[in-house]
Amino acid sequence: MNTLDDLQVILTNLLDIPGWYQPPETSEMEYPCFVFQLDKAAAKYADNSIYQYMKRYKVTVIDREPDSVIPDKMLSLPYCSFDRFYTASNLNHWVYILYF
């Protein structure tokens, strides 16, 4: 079964930027970076048992540059889709949904 550490390594290697799962509130994040969190889990059942189970994560890439190429790398992952873009505190946020 895949773990959070596995996902952290995959995202860090792919994006080549630091990232956190539930970053501590006291830490100052350096940009660009990414943050990911568990969004929900999906299970499929047959014959009264689970035959498929996947967790869904929300991955947010944060960068000061509005034309950053870093977020586009996320779409090379299987089961990943772009969800939305927003700005906050003069930072650009790209949100992706990733099943892992």
Mean pLDDT, the chain, whole residue set? 92
Q: Name the token pair of 40.
A: 């929900």
* Paired sense of beta strands 80-88 and 91-99, if any: antiparallel
**Which alpha helices (H) appear in 37-97, and where do they start and end?**
none
Residue 34 host element (H or E)? strand 33-46
CATH number assigned to the domain comprising residue 12: 3.30.2000.30
User: In this predicted structure, what is the pLDDT of residue 26?
Assistant: 66
Mind listing the pLDDT tens digit for each residue in 48-85? 999 888 899 999 999 999 999 999 999 999 999 999 99
Contact 57, 49 (CB under 8 A): no
- Answer whether residue 1 shows pLDDT above 80: no
What is the domain range of residue 56?
4-99
Q: Kindly report the pTM of this predicted structure.
A: 0.87
Number of domains within the chain: 1
Average pLDDT over every residue of 6-21: 94
pLDDT of the residue at 61: 97
Nearest to 63 by CA among 37, 36, 39, 85: 85
